Amino acid sequence: MKRNVGNVERLFRVLGGLVLITCAVMAPLSLAVRLGTFGVLGAYMLFSALAGSCLGYALMGRSTCPVEPRRG
């Protein structure tokens, strides 16, 4: 997949993902609710930050990456 997430946004996605994973562990809700909401969203945020690519951005044709990758 083509990289479409800039470095600053990747940092915020990592921080947001860690906060959501923490909520999945510590929230006073049932396990199914915690994993189904906070866990899945947190895992996606971390994955998209580490991969540098967001499926939603790809579907919309959007990119926050300032430089297009070189073709070689």
18-66: per-residue pLDDT in tens? Answer: 999 999 999 898 989 899 999 999 999 999 999 988 888 888 888 888 7
Number of compact structural domains in the chain: 1
* pLDDT at residue 40, as a whole number: 94
Buried b (16+ CB within 10 A) or exposed e, 29-64: eeeeebeeebbebbebbbebbeebbbeebeeeeebe
Give residue 68's pLDDT band: very low, low, confident or very high (50, 70, 90). Answer: low
pLDDT at 70 over 70: no
26 vs 2, higher pLDDT: 26
In a domain, 19, yes or no: yes
According to DSSP, residue 34 is labeled: I
Determine the pLDDT at residue 44. 94
User: Domain residues for 20?
Assistant: 7-60
Give the residue with greater pLDDT, 67 vs 33.
33
User: Domain for residue 50, yes or no?
Assistant: yes
